[in-house]
Chains A and B, each alone.
Chain A
Amino acid sequence: MNRKLLPLFFAAAMAMAVPASADQFLLGFNGFDYHIAAPGSTHYLDVNDQYFSLGYVTSVDPGLLGAYVDFGVNEYTYYMFNLKVASVAFWDGNFVDAVFSNVNGGRTRYYEDPISGGTHGVYGTAPPNLTAPSTFVNGNIALGGKTYNFEVTYDISLGQGDFGGNMDLDEGVDLVYIPVSQQPGWILGGLSGTHSLAGPPNPSIPAGYDHQATGQCRRPNATPSTHKTWGAIKALYR
């Protein structure tokens, strides 16, 4: 009987070949970010400066969202907003570590807009402008969430940085498809671009935007699993 179960054990072992409580990809996005300097701001992302990012959702996890997302019919965009710098540290005059307020309504939304009859997202220049963010925030809110503990680290001399924070999904027509246990997640991404002094300049960035921004929204895995030895798995059935 044990031999007959070998293929099942093997399959189970393959299924469990990820670490305990592994995180999971939900969606990926590409776009650009920009900021609005507060009066009296003395440098990039000084206190009270506001940070924005917008662009396109470029892939989704097939398991959680694949059945409900149709990129042939709809355009999917994202917009991060209401992110205001609460405190900032400057290291060596180059390395900016900006911590954002948790009480300013920081939020990230993913939108679904029909390709036929909808409005195509247009970046334009010097945002906010006539098309951005407006053409990135039309259509249905597919998913949205409170974005907090958000922080941007950026090296001005190297023209490169990253952002990260918590993102608890709490709205949108697709929210019903995300198990409650997976709705509190996080958002992570990288920045590179026009502020570059030492790194290569990037001519693809429209005038007035700060950086190229790409990132992922990741969720806690709904079914935590763990590495097991072959012997340990067999022992479970003896």
Chain B
Amino acid sequence: MTTRKLGVAALIGVLAAGAFTAPVAAQCVAPVLICFSGDNYAYETPNNPTYISVTGSPMTVVGKIVSFDAASPLGFLNANMPAKEYTFVWTLTTIAPGTIETILGRQWTTDYASSAQPGTFNIYEGSPPDAPTTAALLPNPPSDGVPGNFSNGTLILSASINFFRVIVTKNSQGRFGGSFNATASFTGGTLYPLIGGNVFNFGTTWITTGPALGQTTALPAGFSAIVSGKSDSPTMVKASTWGAIKMLYR
């Protein structure tokens, strides 16, 4: 009996460990500042499982950062330290008129942020790691762990997103593709003084859910896409002394 209980406990333990294991991170090389090239997740509320969205639909993207550019001011952050994780949450809203079928049956374009209707981009340092991976996601977000386990910890950077466009395509072979292109500016967070508020780009892979070629069936019901990519470095601020600044003009 004891052995059986231990076996059950061990199995649960193994599953739990797997649920919080992040992809092994790699290099993140300039001009990239932040890499989030594993699986990250988009969903709309109420849940919209397709790539067609309506005006005013809130969209959330949650994910995990796999690495920071080691040569950047954020290079001291170790996204692979077992005791910590770096997660992000984007909040966006579908802009009128919603998804436009730019080319019938071939291309769908949706804007989720503008200067007049900005989204938010928050990065958190959390400990211990508890953000669920693909295999541990529960259906129909928001749910236990989504977005809560991606937004716990210290808010180290927050940004305002003034452009966010998703384009989904279906090519001549019937394979779906997707991309997103976005710009934002950091506005706050504990590490804001290191980065400053200049504009940066981020993007670009958007894999929609569904059974067709080019889509993913890895996510439970309620999620609309796997999001993957990177964010570029804004032009950095540089700390200096008053004397050094005066020297520039002598």
Interface residues of A (CB under 8 A from B): 4, 7-8, 10-11, 14-15, 17-25, 28-30, 56-62, 65-66, 69, 71, 75-76, 89, 91-92, 95, 97, 99, 121, 149, 151, 153, 155, 158-165, 186, 188-192, 196, 199-200, 202, 204, 212-216, 218, 221
Known: A204-B201, A212-B203. A160 touches B181 (CB 8 A): yes
Please indicate the chain A residues that have their CB under 8 angstroms from the CB of B228 in the complex: 28, 214-216
| Cα-based distance from A202 to B179 in the complex (angstroms) | 15
Question: Please, could you name 18 A-B residue pairs with CB atoms under 8 Å apart, sorted by A?
Answer: A19-B218, A20-B217, A21-B217, A24-B218, A25-B218, A59-B66, A75-B27, A97-B171, A155-B102, A161-B177, A162-B177, A192-B180, A192-B204, A199-B181, A204-B201, A214-B204, A214-B205, A215-B228
Q: Are A7 and B12 in contact (CB under 8 A)?
A: yes
Q: Are B165 and A199 in contact (CB under 8 A)?
A: yes
| Cα-based distance from A155 to B178 in the complex (angstroms) | 12
* B61 CB–A CB distance under 8 Å: no
| Cα-based distance from A25 to B25 in the complex (angstroms) | 13
Tell which of A57, A58, A155, A204 has the most Cβ of chain B within 10 Å: A58
Chain A, residue nearest B15 (CB)? A11
| Cα-based distance from A99 to B177 in the complex (angstroms) | 14
Q: Are A186 and B203 in contact (CB under 8 A)?
A: no
Q: Are B205 and A164 in contact (CB under 8 A)?
A: no
Q: Are A99 and B173 in contact (CB under 8 A)?
A: yes
Report how many residues on chain B are interfacial, defined by Cβ distance under 8 Å.
70
Known: A149-B175, A162-B169, A192-B181. A59 touches B204 (CB 8 A): no
Binds A, one of B29-37, B120-128, B242-250: B29-37
The answer, among A15, A19, A97, for a CB contact under 8 Å with B217, is: A19
Q: Are A58 and B230 in contact (CB under 8 A)?
A: yes
Tell which of B136, B179, B204, B220 has the most Cβ of chain A within 10 Å: B179
